[in-house]
Amino acid sequence: MNIAGALNYGQTALTESESPEIDCQFLLCHSLECATSYLHTWPEKELTNEQQQQFEQLIAQRKKGQPVAHLIGQRGFWSLDLKVTADTLIPRPDTELLVSLALEKLTSQMTIVDLGTGTGAIALSLASEEPSCMVFASDASSAALAVAKDNASHHQLNNVRFWQGSWLCAISDHCLDMIVSNPPYIEANDEHLSQGDVRFEPIAALASGADGLDDIREIIVQAKDCLKPEGWLLIEHGYHQAKQVQELFFSAGFVTISSHKDYGDNDRVTIGQLPL
């Protein structure tokens, strides 16, 4: 089998996937340890038996629904390639909106906390863009934290610290310039939880009570005691939750509240700051 044949075989096998072509390219690049451009440059190149076997196995697992990010063990986010395991949420492109909003508000030497860091996607992106800032990344899961730590050392980011715990419990009063989070926010009985990649991701990183807002409610209330005056809180949420999240910000005393749209034109991130 050559590269062109392998791509053809894989795409035909994965017709039920949302993105057979891209899935197949990622899986073949993983088996051949090459970049995508190589596939287009050398379509006639023959796979070794070992490469072909590995590729066919990956295609079979993908056909059963396993996420591509789990099969290849990584996902690109912002400017970073991040290690991903079944213990972490797979970073989504929509979360890059939160990173860009945070960067608009950041100035040098700020202290930032990323709550529920997972792979470290948000924390490490901010740390890499603003080396003078100190980023604290927390997660309730020690397995997720281990992945985030690996990602930080792989990218040689020295301005990140990690701790295990629940939201802001370990943080003292009014010491933070910014809090960012992509917490779980899906309704517990949402049918999406049993579809696609989500089936293979940790439920604790996805679902949060009947209306999906249990964790967001807790974070907003805790945040107001941990931020400095004029400190910012930025939270990712569901496409239909902006109004409720804005109300929660408002009730907790936040000002300058606004919601922002993701690539799919859905309100995805709400931000606000404490008054002076």
Candidates 102, 113, 121, 179; binder of ligand GLN (CB under 6 A) is 121
Among 47, 59, 80, 122, binds ligand GLN (CB under 6 A): 122
Strands 160-164 and 134-139: parallel
Rounded distance between C-alpha atoms, residue 246 and residue 234, angstroms: 11
Q: What is the dihedral of CA 33, 196, 57, 84, to 10 degrees?
A: 40
Q: Tell me: does residue 91 bind ligand GLN (CB under 6 A).
A: yes
CB of 143 to ligand GLN, least distance (A): 12
Shortest gap between Cβ of 137 and ligand GLN (angstroms)?
Answer: 9
Structure tokens at 169: 């419990």
Q: Which is nearer to ligand GLN, 28 or 235 (CB)?
A: 235
Phi, psi of 128 (to 5 degrees): -75, -30
* 116 is an interface residue for ligand GLN by CB under 6 A: yes
Q: Least distance from C-beta 221 to ligand GLN, angstroms?
A: 19
> Is the torsion defined by CA of 128, 134, 140, 143 positive or negative?
positive
256: left (phi over 0), alpha (psi -120 to 50) or beta: left
Report the residue number, 58 or 127, with the smaller CB distance to ligand GLN: 127
Q: Which stretch binds ligand GLN (CB under 6 A): 156-164, 180-188, 246-254, 256-264?
A: 180-188
Write out the DSSP string of 25-93: HHHHHHHHT--HHHHHH-TTPBPPHHHHHHHHHHHHHHHTT--HHHHHTEEEETTEEEE--TTSPPP-G
Judged by CB, which is closer to ligand GLN: 239, or 250?
Answer: 239
- Cα–Cα distance for residue pair 259/78, rounded to 1 Å: 21
- For residue 200, report the phi and psi dihedrals to the nearest 5 degrees: -100, 0
CA distances from 8 to 17, 43, 50, 251 (A): 14, 11, 19, 56
- Report, in Å, the least distance between residue 204 CB and ligand GLN: 8
Contact with ligand GLN (CB under 6 A) among 28, 112, 205, 269? 205
58 or 145, CB closer to ligand GLN? 145
118: contact with ligand GLN by CB under 6 A: yes
Residue 182 interacts with ligand GLN (CB under 6 A)?
yes
Site for ligand GLN contains 212 (CB under 6 A): no
Among 32, 127, 178, 184, binds ligand GLN (CB under 6 A): 184
Using the rule CB under 6 A, give the single segment among 32-40, 46-54, 112-120, 237-245 that binds ligand GLN. 112-120
Does 138 contact ligand GLN by CB under 6 A? Answer: no
Q: Match 């792989």 to its residue by tokens.
A: 154
Residue with tokens 């035909």: 12
Q: Which residue is nearest to ligand GLN (CB)?
A: 118
Q: Is residue 241 close enough to count as binding ligand GLN by CB under 6 A? A: no
Question: What is the rounded distance in angstroms from the CA atom of residue 268 to the CA atom of residue 237?
Answer: 5
Smallest gap from residue 223 Cβ to ligand GLN (A): 16
Residues of this chain that bind ligand GLN (CB under 6 A): 89, 91, 95, 116-119, 121-122, 182-184, 205
